[in-house]
Each structure stands twice: as structure tokens, then as C-alpha cells.
Amino acid sequence: NRLILVGNVGSSHVLRFGTPHQVREDVRRCIRAASPGGGHLLQCGDGQVMPDVPLANVLAYVEEARRYGTYPIDPGANQVCGRR
């Protein structure tokens, strides 16, 4: 049996009040923690992006997910493997 883990960049704090740099760090943290081995769906908080989230943070989230969220993912690396 296999499961899909959905999660989780904090939409109520990191996306709304963080800097683009902090958003990128949180995306990488989530990918490193949950993605190795497959079955991880990266998502922000409850799956919604609130209207007051800065566009720069949304773009940082999407760019970082595309950069580091491509399999294969090496949990032992300082940076996540995948498409660069």
C-alpha cells in the first residue's frame, strides 16, 4: 500500500509575512523532509493562497518548487537533486 503525503508550506505565516527568501527556504525544507521516495504533493497550508499574499512570495514558491521538486530527490544532499 502507498500513500500520498500532502504538505506543507505555511500559508498563514511564511507565505503571507515572510520574505521571498524565507519562502524558498521553506519550500526546500518541505521537499527535503517529505519528497524522497516519492508520494509527496507540495502544497501551501490548506491549499489556498490568500489574496493578501505578496505576489513575490507566490512566484518564489512556484519557482523553488519547479527547481527543487523534480525527482529524483536525494535526502542526504545539501540541495535537493533534480532539474536545475
The per-residue pLDDT for 71 is: 79
**So what's the pLDDT on residue 43?**
84
- Distance between CA atoms of residues 30 and 43, nearest Å: 9
Indicate the pLDDT class of residue 75, thresholds 50, 70 and 90.
low
pTM score: 0.79
- Domain map (residue ranges) of the chain: 5-68
Are the CB atoms for 56 and 20 separated by under 8 Å? yes
Q: How far is it, in rounded angstroms, from Cα 2 to Cα 38?
A: 10
Question: Tell me: the pLDDT tens digits for 12-28?
Answer: 789 999 999 999 999 99
Average pLDDT, the chain: 81
